[in-house]
Amino acid sequence: MRLLAKGCGWMSNFLRALPLAYVIVFECHGCALEAETVDFVRDVQPLLKVRCQRCHSATTRKGGLDLSTSAGLLRGSESGRVLVPGKPSESRLWEVLHEGEMPPPGNQALTESQVELLERWIAQGATLGDTPPNRETSLNQHDVLPILLLRCVTCHGRQKQEGGLDLRSRAAMLKGGESGPALVAGDAEASLLIQKIRDQQMPPREKLASYSIKPVEASELERLIQWIEQGAAEVEVSADVANGAPDAMVNEGDRQFWAFQSPQRPDLPAEDVAGTTAPGVPVLHNPVDRFVQRRLAERGLRLAPRADRLTLLRRAHFDLLGLPPSASLVQAVAAADDPLAYERWIDRLLASPHYGERWGQYWLDLAGYADSEGVQHSDPVRPHAFRYRDYVIRAFNSDKAYSRFLLEQIAGDELADYETSAVIDDVIYDNLVATGFLRMAADGTFAGITGFVPNRLDVIDDQLRILTASVMGLTVRCARCHSHKFDPIPQRDYYRLVALLKPAFDENDWLKPISGGNGQAAGKARYLPYVTTKERTAWESTERQLSEQIDALRAAIKEKSGADSFQKEAEAKIKNLEEQRRPQPMVRALWDRGQPSPTYLLQRGDYLRPGHLVGPGIPSVLTSDQTPFNPEPPWKGASKTGNRLALARWLTRGDHPLSARVMVNRVWKHHFGRGIVATLDDFGAAGARPTHPELLDWLAVEFVESGWSVKHLHRLLMTSATYQQDSAVVREHQLRDPDNRWLSRMSLRRMEAEVLRDSLLAMSDKLDRRAFGPADEIESREDGLVTSRAQSGGYRRSVYVLKRRTKRLTILDNFDRPRMSPNCVDRTVSTVAPQALHLMNNKMVHQLSLSLADRLISEAGASASAQIQSLYLIAVGRPPDNAELGALTDSLVALRGQWETHLFQNAKASDAEKVEPDAHRFALGNLVHAMMNSAAFLYID
C-alpha cells in the first residue's frame, strides 16, 4: 500500500526551514554507525522525523500511520503492522523505503545508508527505547470475535443455535447451551469452548466443506485461550466512524478536486458565440450548442450542417428504440417537409414502449444483470431475476425520476414497510424488486465449496464495485487492500461502506442464492414472497383450482379402480394439470435484517487479518468533516438500520457532486459516442478531465432541476444542432478535431449487438414484440453455436433472452455484447472477422433474409425495382441512390441466372414452372442477405 498520499513538493519547503546543520548531523549518524547497535532514540527517530513525519505524525496520520511515537510505530498503519522485529523483509516500513515507494515521488528519498540503518535496526530487534516491542497486551472481545464469527457462528449464531448455543457474545457464551456454559472466565481449561476445539470435535471435521468452514488454527486457539485466561474481558470499543472531528486521512485540499465539488450552473455563452453567424449555420437556441460552439470556435471550427431528414430519422430511431424506422414512416417523412416534425418524432419515440427496452439495457449492463449465478459449472438459473429487468424497463418507459430510481434500487426495502402491509401494491413491489440491483454479481456461494467467507467477501466487493462505478463514477475497489493510490479514498472508507451494507450483506450470517443447503435455516434465501397482492391472489387461485381438479381426479381414480382406460385418461389429465402449476412467485431482493455482525478493517484485504472496528459511513472526500453518517430506522418499530436509505438519500441530494454528472455523462455518451468525461466509470484523479466542464455542470444542474427526468435530457440533447449534425468528415475535422472530441460533426457508429439482432428480426417480420416476463430459452448446438428458441410469434428482443453466464448468444457475443465482470460500465466496439463470418454464413441470418425477401415480394409487388426500393427503405431507411440501384439490379440479374441454372438442373419436370419464381425469390434473398452484410445497414450516420 501507499503509506503517503500524494507528494506535493513539501520536502523542498521543509528543507528550506530546516537548519542545515541538523541534516548533516544525522547524515553522519548514518555513516558512523556501520557496525554498532542502532539506537531508536538517537538514530532512528530523527530520521523518521525528517523524512516521514510531515505525513505520518500524530496529527496527520496518512494511511492511519503515526511514526512520531513508539506507540504509533507499534500500532502500524490501517493495513496493519509495519514492523516485524528481527525481520526487515517482512516489515512494511523497510519494504516501502527499500523499494523506493516512499517518500512519494518528488520528495527527497532516503540515502542507501539510511535505509541500511533502518534495516539493521529492525534486524537487531527494532527496540523502541523504553517501550518493549512485544509487550503483552490484554485482549478483549474484538480479538476473539472474528475467530468465532469465522469458524463457529454458522451453527452457533443467528440462523442456527446447534445444541442451544450462541457464540456471538460473551454473555451468550457464559449462558452456554445444552452442555452447559461454553466459557469459564479466567479458566481456559475448564471452558467447553476450548475443550471442543482442542479435541477437534469442533468444528466437526466431516462437515467442514459442506458448511464452508475451516478448522480453528493453532494461533487462533492460543488467542482464545489467552483471552479467557485474562478474564474474557469485554470492553466498550467505539467503531471508527466520522464523528465531526477533522479527518486525518482526507483534507480540504483533497476535496477541492473538480469532481468532488457540487456542480454549479454556469452562465450560458452568448447566443452569437463566435463563428455562428456564418451562412447556413442555425441560430443556437439550444444551450448545448452554445457550449459546444464555444469550444469549436476556439479551434477555428464550427458546427457541421444539419443532416438530412432521413438520416436523422434513422439516427433517432436507433438511439432511442434500437430498432429501424418502418418503411411507411420513412416514406411519409421523405414526402413532407414539416419544420416541426423532428421534435414530434422525438416525443413519439420517447413514448414508445420499446424505448425502455433499449435504454434499460444500458442500465442492466451497469447492474451486471444476468439470469444465472455463474462461478460453478452448474451455473444455476435465477428464476426470479427477470422481475428486476422488467422493473428497469418500466422505470425508463415511465420516466421515473432518476433520484427515485436510485432510492428504490439502493434502499427500496427501507422505503415502505412491506412486512406488515395488508396489501402489496405496485409501489411496494417495485421498491423490493428494485433492490435486485445489488443482487446481480456472479455468486458461487450457493455451493459449500465456493461459499467460504472469502468468497462471500468477493461478492460484497463486486456489489460495491457495481454501486460505486455505476452510480458514483468512482473506483473504491483498490481500498479493499490499501488506501487508493490516486484518489483520496483511504482503506477505512472502503470498510465503512462494507459496514454500511452489512445489515444486508453479512458474511457471517449469509443468505445463499439458492434456498436450503447446509448451515442455513430452512426457507431462508434471497427471496421475498412480496409480489403484488393481485399477482399473488391470482397465482393462489390458479394453484387452488389446479389442486382441486387434481384431487377430484385422484378421488375418481380411487373410486373406479379397475377401469384401466379411465385411469389412464385421468392420469394423463393430472399430468397435464401438474404441468400448469407454477412455482410460487418470489422477488429476488436485498433487505436490511438488522443486527449486523461487527465490521473490521481487513489488513491488506486479508480476511484472516482483521484490524480495527469500523462503523458505517460514506467516503470522507465527498462530505465535509462536519457531517457524520447518521442513519435512522426507516419507520417506527422497524428492525432495520436505515443505513442504505441514508446512503441513497445522500446520493440523490441535488447538490451531490457525482450522481447527476455521472448519469448525464452516460446519456451524453450514448447519443454522441463519447462522454464529456471520456472515462464514464472514473471521475477521479486517474480518469479523464471533462472536455466541456461547463456544459457538464450545466446539464447536471438542469437534470436535477427537471426532476431528474432522463427523457427531458434526451429531448434537450437530441433537439440540439450538435446532435443533428451531419457525420461527414471534412479536411478541417481531420486537422483540428480528428477524434471528434470537440463535436465538430456527428460520429459514425456501428450498431450494438442487441440492436443488430433486433433489427434483423424486425425487418424480417420475425420480431415478437411482447414485453416482460420470464426470459426466452436458449439452445446450444454441439459446435458451440448458441441461439434463442423461437416463440410462437418469432423471436423476442435480445433483452428478453436468457442471459446465462456460461451460454451466450453467439451473434451477440460476436458483436461485442459485454461480459459481466462484475458489470460493464462502458461497451467497446470491435471489427473482426468472426462478425463477417457470422453474418455471411449463419443459418438464422440466412433464413431471415429469405423472410424479408418474401415480405418484399408480397408487399412491394412484382417489379424488381420496386422490391429493391422497398428493401432500401426497410434496411437503411432511405431510397437507394443510382450507384446502389445499379449494383443491386446488376446482381439480381446475375444471381437469378445462377439460380435458374441450378434449379433447372435439380428440378423434376413437374416443378418446371416453379423454377422462375423460385429463382427470383432466392436471388432476392441474396440481395437482402448482402444488404444485411453491408456497411450501409450496420453503420449509423
Partner 1 sequence: MQRPRMNGFVSSQPSRRSFFEQVGSGLCGAALASVLSEDLFGRSLRAAEQTHTQNEALRQFDLRPKPTHFHPPARSVIQLFMNGGPSQMDLFDPKEELEKKHGMSYFGEIAGEVENPQAAGSLVRSWFPFQKRGDSGTWVSDALPHISECVDDLAVIRSMHTTNLTHEPALFKIHSGQEMPGLPSLGSWVTYALGNENQNLPAYVVLDDPQGLPVNHTQSWQSGYLPPVFQGTRFRSTGSPVLNLDRDFQEPDGVTGLERDLVARLDRIHRRKRPGQPQLNARIASYELAARMQLAATDALDLDQESQRTLERYGIGKKPTDSYGRRCLYARRLVERGVRFVQLFIEFQIWDNHTNLGSGLKSACEKTDQPIAALLQDLKQRGLLDQTLVVWGGEFGRLPIAQLPGDKNEKNAGRDHNKNAMVTWMAGGGIKGGITFGSTDELGFAAAENKVTVPDWHATILHQLGLHHESLFFERNGLKERLTGVNGARVIREILS
Residues numbered 916-935 forming contacts with partner 1, rule: CB under 8 A: 922, 926-927, 929-931, 933-935
836 is a contact residue toward partner 1 (CB under 8 A)? yes
3 state SS of 77: strand
Chain centroid, CA 212 distance in Å: 26
Distance CA 507, CA 528 (A): 20
How many residues of this chain bind partner 1 (CB under 8 A)? 112
Interacting residue with partner 1 among 688, 771, 790, 907 (CB under 8 A): 688
Interface positions, 204-223, toward partner 1 (CB under 8 A) = 205-209, 214-215
Taking the least distance from each CB to partner 1, the nearer of 373 and 390 is 373
Distance CA 362, CA 666 (A): 9
Interacting residue with partner 1 among 332, 887, 907, 915 (CB under 8 A): 887
**3-state percent breakdown (helix, strand, coil) of the chain, nearest 5:** 50, 5, 45
Taking the least distance from each CB to partner 1, the nearer of 610 and 675 is 675
Interacting residue with partner 1 among 352, 376, 533, 719 (CB under 8 A): 376
738 is a contact residue toward partner 1 (CB under 8 A)? yes
Are 52 and 92 in contact by the 8 Å Cβ rule? The answer is no
Residue 925 Cβ vs partner 1, minimum distance, rounded to whole Å:
9
Interface positions, 759-798, toward partner 1 (CB under 8 A) = 783-785
826 is a contact residue toward partner 1 (CB under 8 A)? yes
Interface positions, 222-281, toward partner 1 (CB under 8 A) = none
Tell me the three cell numbers of residue 288.
448545448
Distance CA 771, CA 363 (A): 17
Distance CA 397, CA 418 (A): 25
Interface positions, 380-419, toward partner 1 (CB under 8 A) = none
**Pairing between strand 939-940 and 786-788?**
unpaired
827 is a contact residue toward partner 1 (CB under 8 A)? yes
| Of 292-300, 511-519, 554-562, 680-688: span binding partner 1 (CB under 8 A) | 680-688
Taking the least distance from each CB to partner 1, the nearer of 31 and 728 is 728
| Of 68-76, 165-173, 578-586, 727-735: span binding partner 1 (CB under 8 A) | 727-735
Residue 926 Cβ vs partner 1, minimum distance, rounded to whole Å:
5
Question: Hey, which bits of 749-859 come out as E strands?
Answer: 749-750, 767-768, 778-780, 786-788, 795-796
Using CA atoms in the order 423, 429, 435, 436, what is the torsion angle rounded to 10 degrees? 130
Taking the least distance from each CB to partner 1, the nearer of 45 and 508 is 508
Residue 540 Cβ vs partner 1, minimum distance, rounded to whole Å:
38
457 is a contact residue toward partner 1 (CB under 8 A)? no
Taking the least distance from each CB to partner 1, the nearer of 332 and 936 is 936
449 is a contact residue toward partner 1 (CB under 8 A)? yes
Taking the least distance from each CB to partner 1, the nearer of 172 and 876 is 876
Interacting residue with partner 1 among 223, 609, 712, 750 (CB under 8 A): 750
Residue 291 Cβ vs partner 1, minimum distance, rounded to whole Å:
18
In sequence order, the β-bridge partners of residue 602 are 610
Taking the least distance from each CB to partner 1, the nearer of 412 and 822 is 822
Taking the least distance from each CB to partner 1, the nearer of 559 and 783 is 783
Cis peptide before 822 (omega within 30 of 0): yes
* Sole residue written with cell 462522454: 675
| Of 139-147, 351-359, 860-868, 898-906: span binding partner 1 (CB under 8 A) | 898-906
Distance CA 70, CA 77 (A): 13
Run of H or E including 316: helix 309-320
843 is a contact residue toward partner 1 (CB under 8 A)? yes
852-884 burial, b at 16+ Cβ within 10 Å, e below that, comes to bbbbbbeebeeebeebbbbbbbbbbbbbbeeeb
814, 781, 822: which is closest to 798 by C-alpha? Answer: 814
| Of 66-74, 342-350, 501-509, 830-838: span binding partner 1 (CB under 8 A) | 830-838
Distance CA 746, CA 910 (A): 57
Interface positions, 791-810, toward partner 1 (CB under 8 A) = 805-807, 810
Distance CA 903, CA 433 (A): 57
Distance CA 461, CA 478 (A): 10
| Of 201-209, 424-432, 499-507, 699-707: span binding partner 1 (CB under 8 A) | 201-209
315 is a contact residue toward partner 1 (CB under 8 A)? no
375 is a contact residue toward partner 1 (CB under 8 A)? yes
